[in-house]
Amino acid sequence: MGQGRLYAAVAVSGFRRYATYRMATAAGVFTNTVFGVILAYTYVALWDERPGLGGYDQAQALTYVWLCQGLHAAVAAMGRGMEMELIGRIRTGDIAVDLYRPADLQTWWLASDVGRAAFHLLGRGFVPMAFGALLFELAVPSDPLTWLAFLVSVALGVVVSFAIRYLVALSAFWLMDGAGAAQMAALAGIFFSGLLLPLNIFPGVLGEIARALPWSALLQKPADVFLGERTGLALLETYAFQGAWAVALLAAGRLVQSAATKRVVVQGG
Partner 1 sequence: MIDSSHASDEEFIRLDGVEKVFDVRRRNGFLRREKHQVRAVDSISFTVARGEMVGYIGPNGAGKSTTIKMLTGILTPSGGRLRVAGIDPSRERTRLAQHIGVVFGQRTTLWWDLPLIDSYRLMHRMYRIPDARYRANLDRCVELLEMGHLLEVPVRQLSLGQRMRGDIAAALLHDPDVLYLDEPTIGLDVVSKAKVREFLRELNAERGTTVLLTTHDLTDIEQLCRRVMVIDHGRLMYDGALSGLHEVGESERLLVVDLERELPPVDIGPAARVVKVEGPRQWLAFPASESAAPLVARIAAEYPLVDLSVREPDIEAVIANMYATGGERLHPQAENS
Q: Which residues bind partner 1 (CB under 8 A)?
A: 2, 5-6, 9-10, 13, 16-17, 20-21, 93-94, 96-97, 99-103, 261-262, 264-266, 268-269
Is the CB of 10 or the CB of 210 nearer to partner 1? 10
Smallest separation, CB 253 to partner 1 (Å):
18
- How far apart (Å, rounded) are the C-alpha atoms in residues 65 and 58? 11
Helix (H, G, I), strand (E, B) or coil at 18: helix
SS (H, E, C) 193-241: CCCCCCHHHCCHHHHHHHHHCHHHHCCHHHHHHHCCCCCCHHHHHHHHH
- How far apart (Å, rounded) are the C-alpha atoms in residues 10 and 67? 28
Smallest separation, CB 10 to partner 1 (Å):
7
Is the CB of 57 or the CB of 98 nearer to partner 1? 98
Smallest separation, CB 11 to partner 1 (Å):
11
- How far apart (Å, rounded) are the C-alpha atoms in residues 167 and 56? 34
Is the CB of 236 or the CB of 264 nearer to partner 1? 264
- How far apart (Å, rounded) are the C-alpha atoms in residues 1 and 262? 28
Task: Report how far Cα 14 is from the mean position of its chain's Cα atoms.
Answer: 15
Smallest separation, CB 245 to partner 1 (Å):
29
Smallest separation, CB 96 to partner 1 (Å):
5
Say if CB 153 and CB 225 are below 8 A apart.
Answer: yes
State the alpha helices, DSSP H only, in the chain.
2-19, 22-49, 58-71, 82-92, 95-99, 105-135, 144-170, 172-175, 179-192, 204-212, 220-226, 233-262
Smallest separation, CB 13 to partner 1 (Å):
6
Is the CB of 108 or the CB of 191 nearer to partner 1? 108
- How far apart (Å, rounded) are the C-alpha atoms in residues 239 and 257? 26
Is the CB of 39 or the CB of 111 nearer to partner 1? 111
Is the CB of 183 or the CB of 258 nearer to partner 1? 258
